[in-house]
Each structure stands twice: as structure tokens, then as C-alpha cells.
């Protein structure tokens, strides 16, 4: 696989002007095709990202992280990219880890490669660590396979497979939705260890609103799987440990 031509890096952003230039420039050293979705930012995120060399897709108002990712994935697929590497725009994902995703896909043939922060979560706030493990256990039970870090947004995804699954989440439940969609199809999912980087920035996750959205998604996903027995059942292909 020629990752420099076949992969687009997708970065959803909301008010990330202070960091997005550094992120784009660092990633472009490895993958030249960068799609930044400015999800209705109130600052100069789009202009800064464009100046750094990214192609910028604009939402006139905030629609949610999932909606921003959907916009970029559709655009990348339409342009003929075979893969999308998703990263956050706030610097929490290290460009030094990018190669791990490509190597894992080349080595295993996985259609989805997700970052795993949970083997060495030093530096992750305690509440986030607890919530991530709690959610990951429940999504693993739904998927029928071990998914050690279900909430990490640093991922490499096969766009041809994604286009046949069309996960529909529009907010922060998008990470869970994509994992379950690939698992329900019986796709091979791999996890790679990545760095845990947290600074002083405030999370854009709203504790009450986004938690309620996640529970609503989880309940609907349970009902859908229970009511559609014809769906391919997941097979335990995801690695229980980071590779």
C-alpha cells in the first residue's frame, strides 16, 4: 500500500486555532493529504489550517464531531482515497505514532486499526480512564470481541468498507458507532499502542449531554442487534492487547 497517495488524514476541529497549524505541519511530513473539517469554529481554525497546507472543509455552525468526520470521510471517499487516518486537532495524538497504524494494516490486513491508550494510561485523567474502561467493556460485550480502548479517535479506517456500513452517529458517540459497525460485519480490527498526551485544554465533551447521547446510542445499538439476527455476528478478531 502506498500510504502517501492512498490515505487522507482527517482532522475534525472546533476552535483549535492555537494548535492546528503545528498538528498539520507535523503530520504532512508523513502523509501529504490532510483534510481539516472546521466544525463552525468561532476562531481562525480554518484559515490557520489552510495556511499550514490542509484542505479545509467548512461547517457554517457546529454539527458535532461525528458529523464533521462524516463530512470528511465522504469527501475523501469521493476523491478516491482508500483509507482515512483520523486524528484530533488539539495535539493529543502524536504524529510519531502514525507509522504504527500503517504497519499494523500492512501486517495484518485489518480494515480498522485503532489506537490503544489503556495499557500505559499514565497521564490520562482518572475519570476519563475509568469512563473509557467502563464504556469499552460494554461495547466489547455488544461486539463479541475485546475492544480495549473504544473511545480513542486516533484510527485508520478502510473507506470502501466504511461506505458499506455507513455509521450514522453525529457527536462523540461516533467512535463507539464505528467500532460496532465494523465488528458487526465481522471485520478484522487491530489495536496499536499510542502515547497518552493531555495538556491543560478543556475537553469539548459535555459531561451530561454527551453521556446521555452515548447511553441513547448504546440502547439503540442493543435493540438493533437484538432485532436483526440476520446480521453477520462478530468474530473475536480484535487483539485483546495492543500489538
pLDDT in tens, the chain (243 residues): 899 999 999 999 999 999 999 999 999 999 999 999 999 999 999 999 999 999 999 999 999 999 999 999 999 999 999 999 999 999 999 999 999 999 999 999 999 999 999 887 777 777 778 888 888 898 899 888 999 999 899 999 999 999 999 788 888 889 999 999 999 999 999 999 998 776 656 666 666 676 787 778 778 777 877 776 544 444 434 443 433
Domain count along the chain: 1
> Does residue 240 sit within a domain?
no
Pairing of strands 34-39, 189-193: unpaired
| β-sheet bridge partners, residue 193 | 116
CATH of the domain at 130: 3.90.550.10
Closest CA to 141 of 226, 243, 15: 226
> Does residue 241 sit within a domain?
no
Q: Can you give 41-78 as a three-state secondary structure string?
A: CCCCHHHHHHHCCCEEEEECCCCCHHHHHHHHHHHHHH
Pairing of strands 112-116, 34-39: unpaired
Segments of 109-221 assigned E as strands: 112-116, 155-158, 189-193
**Domain interval for residue 128:** 3-227
Contact 160, 211 (CB under 8 A): no
> Does residue 54 sit within a domain?
yes
Neighbours of 116 (CB within 10 A): 24
> Does residue 106 sit within a domain?
yes
> Does residue 243 sit within a domain?
no
> Does residue 210 sit within a domain?
yes
Determine the 3-state secondary structure of 126 from DSSP: helix
Whole-model pTM: value is 0.86
> Does residue 17 sit within a domain?
yes
> Does residue 220 sit within a domain?
yes
Amino acid at each position: 500500500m502506498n500510504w502517501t497517495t492512498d490515505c487522507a488524514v482527517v482532522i475534525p476541529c472546533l476552535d483549535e486555532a492555537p494548535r492546528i497549524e503545528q498538528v498539520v505541519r507535523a503530520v504532512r511530513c508523513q502523509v501529504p493529504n490532510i483534510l481539516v473539517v472546521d466544525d463552525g469554529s468561532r476562531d481562525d481554525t480554518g484559515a490557520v489550517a489552510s495556511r499550514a497546507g490542509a484542505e479545509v472543509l467548512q461547517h457554517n455552525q457546529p454539527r458535532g464531531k461525528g458529523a464533521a468526520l462524516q463530512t470528511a470521510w465522504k469527501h475523501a471517499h469521493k476523491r478516491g482515497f482508500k483509507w482515512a487516518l483520523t486524528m484530533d486537532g488539539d495535539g493529543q495524538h502524536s504524529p510519531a505514532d502514525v507509522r504504527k497504524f500503517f504497519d499494523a494494516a500492512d501486517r495484518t490486513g485489518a480494515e480498522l486499526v485503532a489506537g490503544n491508550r489503556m495499557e500505559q494510561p499514565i497521564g490520562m485523567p482518572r475519570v476519563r480512564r475509568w469512563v473509557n474502561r467502563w464504556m469499552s467493556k460494554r461495547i466489547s460485550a455488544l461486539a463479541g470481541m475485546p475492544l480495549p480502548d473504544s473511545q480513542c479517535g486516533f484510527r485508520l479506517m478502510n473507506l470502501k468498507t466504511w461506505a458499506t456500513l455507513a455509521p450514522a452517529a453525529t457527536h462523540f458517540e461516533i467512535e463507539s458507532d464505528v467500532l460496532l459497525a465494523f465488528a458487526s460485519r465481522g471485520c478484522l480490527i487491530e489495536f496499536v499502542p499510542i502515547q497518552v498526551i493531555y495538556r491543560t485544554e478543556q475537553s469539548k465533551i459535555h459531561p451530561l449531554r454527551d453521556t446521555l447521547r452515548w447511553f441513547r446510542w448504546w440502547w439503540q445499538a442493543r435493540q438493533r442487534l437484538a432485532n436483526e439476527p440476520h446480521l453477520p455476528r462478530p468474530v473475536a478478531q480484535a487483539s485483546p492487547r495492543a500489538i
